[in-house]
């Protein structure tokens, strides 16, 4: 990272001021946390649940980033940096490339539990940070940041942003016990964490780098397509090659609609997807239609990259 990057990254860092959170803010966190705890057993991937457990402090209220960072740093060398909200793409990528995760500090209000225009501290910390405890995923995020800086230079941010969207935010993973969630946008959304696994409507397709980069995404509703990886190693390996020739190749191919299917798609045969209730949650197949988090962010990406 250059000195200029360091400077602009520093300009976007703020102080979390943990002692200033009110009891109401902590109790909103606990409400969200407990709701997702119930929903995510049997739905989130083990790596996420293990990370959440290892971070410990997250159950009691909005965590102090310094304590979280110390646990994270000891595990994988990542730290959390407090930011005021969305940061510019180059700054975002520069943070990731240095193993710094930019997190917002504010929490949604009680009347916004299911709907929020932009990422808040619950999405950033509870959705993203647990997986950064996993060494392979931690390396993937850093590689993504480095790839982002390159993509900006090559004018292919739109393609790389789709990779982020369909993996880090909305990714699914195949396990021996069935399909599980690892995407943070899903993990922090009560409605979508049920819908993405159990609703018959969305496509669940095996991850393919070019296919993902060609696929437009929806910012205003649940996803119509989810991509399924086998493990985090597959994801990391997919980001190893130089993307320049890949960008060049897909630039000649048409985009794929959010609900589109193409000839080479390998649908994931989701045997578990219609067996809701197997872990006895009340919702069963009943799907709560609420937009997932990060809508504002998506609009931001769309505006800037003509998604």
Q: What is the contact surface with Fe ion in residues (CB under 5 A)?
A: 184
202 binds ligand HBI (CB under 6 A): no
Question: Please, what is the minimum distance in Å from the beta carbon of residue 301 to ligand HBI?
Answer: 6
CA distance linking residue 127 with residue 178, whole number of Å? 21
Interacting stretch for ligand HBI, rule CB under 6 A, among 2-10, 85-93, 243-251, 260-268? 85-93
102 binds ligand HBI (CB under 6 A): yes
What letter does residue 224 receive in the DSSP assignment?
A: S
Q: Judged by CB, which is closer to ligand HBI: 119, or 194?
A: 119
62 touches 116 (CB < 8 A): no
Q: Judged by CB, which is closer to Fe ion: 122, or 247?
A: 122
87 binds ligand HBI (CB under 6 A): yes
62 binding partner (options ligand HBI, Fe ion, none; Cβ < 5 to 8 Å by kind): none
CA distance linking residue 156 with residue 137, whole number of Å? 23
Q: Lay out the site mask for ligand HBI across 148-177 (x = CB under 6 A, - = otherwise).
A: -------------x--x-------------
CA distance linking residue 132 with residue 184, whole number of Å? 11
DSSP-derived pairing of the beta strands 172-175 and 178-181: antiparallel
213 binds ligand HBI (CB under 6 A): no
- Tokens matching residue 93: 């990528």
161 binding partner (options ligand HBI, Fe ion, none; Cβ < 5 to 8 Å by kind): ligand HBI
CA distance linking residue 106 with residue 122, whole number of Å? 9
291 binds ligand HBI (CB under 6 A): no
- The alpha carbon of 194 is separated from its chain's Cα centroid by a whole number of angstroms, namely 16
The neighbouring-strand residues paired with 204 are: 226
83 binds ligand HBI (CB under 6 A): yes
CA distance linking residue 225 with residue 255, whole number of Å? 14
Interacting stretch for ligand HBI, rule CB under 6 A, among 17-25, 70-78, 80-88, 188-196? 80-88
Question: Please, what is the minimum distance in Å from the beta carbon of residue 89 to ligand HBI?
Answer: 4
CA distance linking residue 64 with residue 17, whole number of Å? 9
121 binds ligand HBI (CB under 6 A): no
End-to-end CA separation in angstroms for the chain: 28
CA distance linking residue 251 with residue 261, whole number of Å? 18
89 binding partner (options ligand HBI, Fe ion, none; Cβ < 5 to 8 Å by kind): ligand HBI
Of 21, 33, 65, 92, the one binding ligand HBI by CB under 6 A? 92
Which of 148, 145, 106 shows the shortest CA–CA distance to 125? 106
Which of 258, 154, 151 shows the shortest CA–CA distance to 212? 258
Interacting stretch for ligand HBI, rule CB under 6 A, among 49-57, 79-87, 174-182, 192-200? 79-87
Q: Binding-site residue total for ligand HBI (CB under 6 A)?
A: 11
Using CB under 6 A, list all residues that contact ligand HBI: 83, 86-87, 89, 92, 102, 119, 161, 164, 297, 301
């Amino acid at each position: 990272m250059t000195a200029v990057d360091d400077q602009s990254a520093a300009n976007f860092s703020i102080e979390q001021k943990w002692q200033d959170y009110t009891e109401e803010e902590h109790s909103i966190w606990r409400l969200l946390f407990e709701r997702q705890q119930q929903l995510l057993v049997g739905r989130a991937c083990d790596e996420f649940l293990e990370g959440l457990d290892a971070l410990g402090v997250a159950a009691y209220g909005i965590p102090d980033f310094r304590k979280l960072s110390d646990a994270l740093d000891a595990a994988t060398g990542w730290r959390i940096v407090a930011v005021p909200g969305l940061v510019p793409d180059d700054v975002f990528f520069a943070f990731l490339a240095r193993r710094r995760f930019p997190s917002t500090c504010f929490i949604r209000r009680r009347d916004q539990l299911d709907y929020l225009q932009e990422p808040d501290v619950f999405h950033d910390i509870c959705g993203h940070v647990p997986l950064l405890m996993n060494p392979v995923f931690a390396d993937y995020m850093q590689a993504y940041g480095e790839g982002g800086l390159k993509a900006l230079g090559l004018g292919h941010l739109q393609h790389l942003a789709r990779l982020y969207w369909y993996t880090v935010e909305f990714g699914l993973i195949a396990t021996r016990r069935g399909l599980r969630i690892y995407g943070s946008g899903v993990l922090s959304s009560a409605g979508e964490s049920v819908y993405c696994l159990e609703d018959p409507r969305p496509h669940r397709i095996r991850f393919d780098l070019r296919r993902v980069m060609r696929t437009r995404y929806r910012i205003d509703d649940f996803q119509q397509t989810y991509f399924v990886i086998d493990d985090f190693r597959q994801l990391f390996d997919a980001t190893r090659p130089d993307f320049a020739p890949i960008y060049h190749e897909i630039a000649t191919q048409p985009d794929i609609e959010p609900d589109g299917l193409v000839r080479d798609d390998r649908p994931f045969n989701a045997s578990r997807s219609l067996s809701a209730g197997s872990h006895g949650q009340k919702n069963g197949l009943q799907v709560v239609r609420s937009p997932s988090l990060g809508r504002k962010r998506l609009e931001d990406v769309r505006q800037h990259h003509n998604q």
